[in-house]
Structure 1
C-alpha cells in the first residue's frame, strides 16, 4: 500500500502533468500566465509557477487555490481540472470575523429567515476565498444579467450546500432567476414575504470538508416586471482574499455618471468613478470583508442620493 508521502507525490505529479498539458495546449508561456494572473489580482512568482509546472512543489493554502481557479479559466480548462488533482490542503488561511456585511438589523433578520427556510445554519460556515462577479447592463441602462465565479472554502466541518441571496433593501421585487452554471445545482429556493430577500441553495457536486476548496459558478437573471436597476455589487460576510465586481455597459447606454459605494463595519464610503473612454468599470479589493462593494450609475444631471 502506498505511503502518505507516495500518495502526495503521485498527486503532485498528476497535477504538474495536467498543468504542463494545459499550458502546451493553450500555446502560452509562463510569463504570459503570470501577467494575466497579475491582471486578475493573483500575484504568483515565475519561480512558483515553474515549481508547479515541474512538480517540484504543489500549491498550498487558500491563496494558491484561488490562483488555480484563474489558471483553469485562462487555460480554457474545466473548473476543478487542476484543483481536483491536489486533494485537501492542511491550511485554512486567515478567516477573520464572520459578520453581516450591511448595517441593517431588519435586513439581517430577513436573511436569517431565508437561511432557516433553506435549511442551512446561520452564519454560513463556508467563505469565498476569491470571487469575480460580472454584470451586464442593457441598452436601456439597466442591469440585465450577472454571472459570478467563486473559489469557496469550508472553514469547519463538511459543507454540502451554500446559500446565495439577492438583496434589495427597501425595494420589493419579484424573485430573480438564480441558476447554477458549474460546480453544483440549485436544490432549493426562497423568497421573503417582504420581497427584499430572495435566495437559492447551491448544492455542491461533492461534500467539501475543511479546509478544502471548490470552484463554483452561478448566474442571476431578472424576469419581466423586475424594477429597473442601475446599481450592482457583491457582499461577503467574511474576509475575501480578492473580490472583483466588473460592470459592463451596453455601448448605447454609457452612463453620464458612475459612483462607487463601499460599505464595511467601519462605515460607508462613496466615491465618483469615471469610464475614461471605456465601456466597463472594474472594482477590485484584496483582503476585503466583511462588507459590500457596489456600483451606481445614472443618466443626465447627477441627483443627490442618500448614502
Structure 2
C-alpha cells in the first residue's frame, strides 16, 4: 500500500524512476524517503518491527552516501525498506548488487585480513564508515622508519583518492603495534582530520576515522596525509598493509637507521594472515637509501616487506 496520500509531482516521479534504473543507491534511497514523507525515526521503527533494526544514524549515512549496506543484516533491511517505501522488489538491492556499482568493487571482509577471531573486528565494525566505498584510493605511498634500536619508529602515509559518490565518507585506517599494551598513536594529519580514534591498548591497535578537509564533488581528487608514531620498544622485522579494495598503485619505502641496516629484505603478498607468502621478491638494501617496493593494480589482500639482521 502506498505510504503517501497525494501523488508526487510528475517530475519527481520521473527522477525517482530514472535513479532506480541507473543508481546510485544513496540517491535512489534519498528520493524514495522524500517521496514517502516518512522521517528516519519512523523508518527505523518500521524496520525494528520487521525484525531488522537499523539506527537512524546508519539510515542517514545510507541516504547521503557516507556508507552503504554491505552485511547480510543490512541487505535484509534494504529489502524491507523497498516494501515500506512502496518500491518494486529488488529496486534498491539491485543497485547494490549491480557489477561496478558506486564505481568500486565490493571490498573483502575484515575477517579475511585480520583473522576471524581477532579482537579488533568488533571495533572495526562499530565504525559506520568501515565499509566505505565513496573514496577510491588511486595511489598509496607509505614511508616506514626503523630506528637504531631496530624498532619501528613512525609511519607516514600519503593517499591520493577520488570521490566516487557524495557526500564523501571517511577512510578508516587500522594500525597494530609490535607489542601488546603499547599501541601506536596518530600524531598528525594533513588535508584531512580525524573524527574518531579508538585505542585498543591490550592487543596494541589504534583505529582512526579520517575525513577530507572539505566536502568533495563526485570525480574530484584529494590528498590525505597522516602520520602514526610507534610507542613500543620491541624490534620488528616486517611491515604490511591490508587492502580491502584494489588500489591502482602502492609504494612502500622502509628507511633504516645506519646502525640498523638489515642484511636482507624481501617483498611478499599474503591472501590472509595465516597464508603462505607469495610473489616473494628480493629488495635491495643500501646505506642512505630506503628499501623500496612498488606495485600497480594491487588486489585485495596483504602486501608487505620483511627483513632480517645478521
Q: Give TM-score, length-normalised by structure 2.
A: 0.58
Deviations 1:89-129 (A, max 9, x none): xx99963341146262223x72352341xx42331223321
Most deviating of 280-289 and 250-259 = 250-259
Q: Which has the higher contact order (CA 8 A, sep 6+)?
A: 1
2:112 is the counterpart of 1:104: no
The whole-number CA distance in structure 2 between the counterparts of 1:205 and 1:176 is 23
For 1:280, the equivalent position in structure 2 comes to 290
Q: Mind listing any 5+ residue stretches in structure 2 that lack a counterpart?
A: 1-99
CA distance in 2, matches of 1:195, 1:214: 32
Cα offsets for 1:29-70 (capped at 9, x unmatched): xxxxxxxxxxxxxxxxxxxxxxxxxxxxxxxxxxxxxxxxxx
For residue 203 of structure 1, report the CA deviation from its aligned partner: 2.7
SS in 1 for 2:123: helix
Closer/same/farther in 2, CA of residues 111 and 154 from structure 1, 3 Å limit: farther
Shift of 1:263: 1.7
Aligned partner of residue 190 in structure 1, secondary structure: strand
C-alpha deviation, 1:139, in angstroms: 1.1
Q: Which runs of 5+ in 1 are unaligned?
A: 1-90, 301-307
TM-score (norm 1): 0.58
Q: How far apart are the structure 1 equivalents of 2:286 and 2:182?
A: 35
Equivalent runs, 1:74-153 vs 2, <5 Å? 95-100=104-109, 102=113, 104-107=115-118, 110-116=120-126, 119-125=127-133, 126-153=135-162
Q: CA RMSD in A?
A: 2.9
The Cα of 1:276 is off from its aligned counterpart by 5.2
- Within the alignment, does 1:214 sit opposite 2:222 as a pair? yes
2:207 counterpart (199, 210, 219)? 199
Q: Judge conservation of contact 1:114–1:190 (CA < 8 Å) in 2.
A: no
Q: Deviation digits for residues 162-192 of structure 1, max 9, x if unmatched? A: 22110359x5342211133311222221023
Q: Distance in 2 between matches of 1:280 and 1:269?
A: 22
- Deviation digits for residues 194-213 of structure 1 (CA, Å, limit 9, x no counterpart): 52432112132112344433
- Aligned partner (choices 255, 265, 285) of residue 258 of structure 1: 265
The answer to whether the Cα contact below 8 Å between 1:259 and 1:271 also exists between their aligned partners in 2 is yes
Judge conservation of contact 2:136–2:164 (CA < 8 Å) in 1: yes
Give the paired residue count.
Answer: 205
Out of 157, 170, 173, the position equivalent to 2:166 is 157
1:232-282 per-residue CA deviation (whole Å, 9 max, x = no partner) reads: 132221110001111111122111222322123796316352435454211
Cα gap change, 1:193 to 1:230, in 2 (>3 Å): same
Matched residue, 1:238: 245
Q: 1:202 to 1:226 in 2, by over 3 A?
A: farther
CA 1:281–1:290: 2 relative to 1, 3 Å: same
Contact 1:233 1:245 in 2 (8 A): no
After TM superposition, the runs of 4+ consecutive aligned structure 1 residues lying more than 4 A away are: 91-94
Range with bigger deviation, 194-203 or 237-246 = 194-203
Compare CA radii of gyration and give the structure with the larger one. 2
Q: Distance in 1 between matches of 2:293 and 2:104?
A: 22
Q: Residue 241 of structure 1 aligns to a residue in which SS?
A: strand
1:112–1:127 CA distance, 2 compared to 1 (3 A): farther
Find 2:306's aligned residue among 272, 291, 296: 296
Distance 1:199 1:259 in 2: 27
